[in-house]
Amino acid sequence: MQKVRAAPSSRRQEKKPLRSTPYQKPDGNQQNILPTQTKTEPYKKEQRILIVGDGNMSFGFALCKHRLKGECSNVIVTTYDSSNELKKYPEAQGYGDGLKELGATVLHDVDAQDLQNTLTPKLKSEQKSWKFDIIIFMFPLVHPATTRTDFEARPDPIVENKMLILKFLKSAKQLLSEKGEIHITSKEVKPYSWWQIHRLSDGLEPLYFVERREFDASLFPGYQTRKPVNLHKDRVESFPLTECVTFVFALNNILCSTTLPDKTATFYCAACDRAIVREEDYEQHQKGRIHKALANIYVKWQELLASTNLDIKS
């Protein structure tokens, strides 16, 4: 009897949310899996919270109003842009004023890559030279090029954004309290997943990657993502808050709940961050299209690291 295949359902399948998944040791046909906790961090009014790179300040406002219920004297919200440059975001003035009304401190011209020189002096003038319990960077992206010459001279966007996050982590860890955490929220799709954010604290000990947490945008009503567009000085775009995760870093590796691939494994692929059990599978892996793309990025990343003076241990 001839087998008849069932017709595909016409109903559109909904994408399942991220779930907490135990780390699985990969075999030759398996990708490394990082577990994702399903609960977004419940921020508390007692915590000293620093938010960097908050574009139009809508995340800071949403956090203060809806998560902290307006008790925000311990919150510092910063932007990379100056107050004048923020005019490209028509809504920014309203969010900034709202934050001040809720008791938060708003500061501009703060570079997340150099908090010691661009933030610390401002904190001293505000008499808030704190160590922070939470430091947040939502959807980090390098500032866009404004000229064709600048655009063509810049590194590969993936390695440039990796460097942004690496410099942020190196700078932010100096402002972290003993039990504090750094939260970096990003998309979990290509090319963002190729940044390998979880590995960017390697060599920054005593800062360690702890875990990934599912980011639930519904907890932050009114949060509007914004990103400037290359070669368009005043043009900005939004992007949907789907397939997002928060990478958590802390100063104590005892807090780590995630086992990463073993970098000392015989068949470890640094480009893909994969530890493979069998040699034949490792050889097959190296022939893959994704591996070749990531290997090219890895070479560019090592070259960029070598050209900097960041004093990375490994």
Structure tokens at 22: 């135990």
Determine the pLDDT at residue 10: 43
**For 85-124, how does the pLDDT look when each residue is reduced to its tens digit (9 = 90+)?**
898 888 999 999 999 999 999 999 999 999 999 999 999 9
Determine the pLDDT at residue 68: 95
Q: Which residue has the tokens 């910063």?
A: 78
For the ranges 16-20, 170-174, 260-264, the lowest mean pLDDT is seen at 16-20
**For 60-89, how does the pLDDT look when each residue is reduced to its tens digit (9 = 90+)?**
999 999 999 999 999 999 999 999 989 888
For the ranges 98-112, 174-188, 256-270, the lowest mean pLDDT is seen at 256-270
Integer-rounded Cα radius of gyration of the chain: 21
Residue 139 is given by DSSP the state S
Average pLDDT over residues 247-266: 84
For the ranges 38-52, 68-82, 219-233, the lowest mean pLDDT is seen at 219-233
Task: Answer yes or no: pTM beyond 0.95.
Answer: no
Determine the pLDDT at residue 311: 75
Assess whether pLDDT exceeds 60 at residue 21. no
DSSP string computed for 275-313 = E-S-HHHHHHHHTSHHHHHHHHHHHHHHHHHHTS-----
Assess whether pLDDT exceeds 50 at residue 32. no
Closest C-alpha to 19, from 41, 42, 35: 35
* Calpha distance 123→135 (Å, rounded): 14
Determine the pLDDT at residue 313: 60
Determine the pLDDT at residue 53: 96
Confidence band of 150 (pLDDT split at 50, 70, 90)? confident
The kind and range of the H/E element at 179 are strand 176-187
Assess whether pLDDT exceeds 90 at residue 158. yes
Confidence band of 2 (pLDDT split at 50, 70, 90)? very low
Q: Which residue has the tokens 């708003």?
A: 106
Give 226 or 254, the one with higher predicted confidence.
226
Determine the pLDDT at residue 301: 94
Assess whether pLDDT exceeds 90 at residue 302. yes
Q: Are 213 and 39 in contact (CB under 8 A)?
A: yes
Assess whether pLDDT exceeds 90 at residue 19. no
Average pLDDT over residues 22-43: 51
* Calpha distance 88→274 (Å, rounded): 42
Question: Prior bond to 240 cis, omega within 30?
Answer: no
For the ranges 92-96, 144-148, 202-206, 217-221, the lowest mean pLDDT is seen at 144-148
